[in-house]
Chain A
């Protein structure tokens, strides 16, 4: 039972353009959502999060949008940079503390110079 799904295994964009990564979930009890970035041979690193009581959170070039009715969230990166090339994981938690995460399968983002 895949409760968090990232349907796009890969995404390629040009430097300077917007990258949009999508994530869908099935469990309406999820209370907190996070995005992690992972480079090869490294562990995932926290990028940005959003509580279920909000619909948008912004941190520099990164913005996360949450649509609870559609059980959908997205990560926008503007402008995209080559250093953003990595695997991005969407994760969800049943707890406001953000513990015990359920991860999606990941999306490989490639930003071309």
Chain B
């Protein structure tokens, strides 16, 4: 089966600019996650979708981060405006019920 697809792989922006990441989960996976992994740390959950509804966004900095999953398939994560501390790898994952999370290769964001 095709894995979780993410784009772009790398992105460099200046602080206060905006950026968007895209994720296409494994076909048929109802649950989609966005994780943030800062260098030297483990991935941290930002938001979880079940189909196109939000299950958990308690750790999403909603003043600058937004995410949507239209039609319950693809998802986009946006940061506006970006800060230096947003530099990280943004990982998308998907899962079926009672199955482990499958991760994409991530988008490495550098904010200068």
Contact = CB atoms under 8 A, between A and B. Distances in A.
Interface residues of A, number: 24
Given A89-B43, A103-B43, A46 B98 contact: no
B34 to A, nearest CB: 12
Contacts of B93: 43
20 contacts: A4-B42, A41-B105, A43-B4, A43-B105, A43-B106, A46-B101, A89-B42, A96-B98, A97-B97, A97-B98, A98-B101, A99-B95, A99-B101, A100-B45, A100-B48, A100-B55, A101-B43, A101-B45, A101-B101, A103-B43
Interface residues of B, number: 25
Contacts, number: 54
A102 interface: yes
Contact of B103 (A45, A49, A102): A45
> Which of B31, B41, B91, B101: most chain A Cβ within 10 A?
B101
Interface string A86-113: 0001010000111111111110000000
A103 B44 CA distance: 7
A24 to B, nearest CB: 13
Interface in A49-101: 49, 89, 91, 96-101
B103 A44 contact: yes
A105 B105 contact: no
Interface of B: 4, 31, 33, 40-45, 48, 55-56, 91, 93, 95, 97-106
A21 interface: no
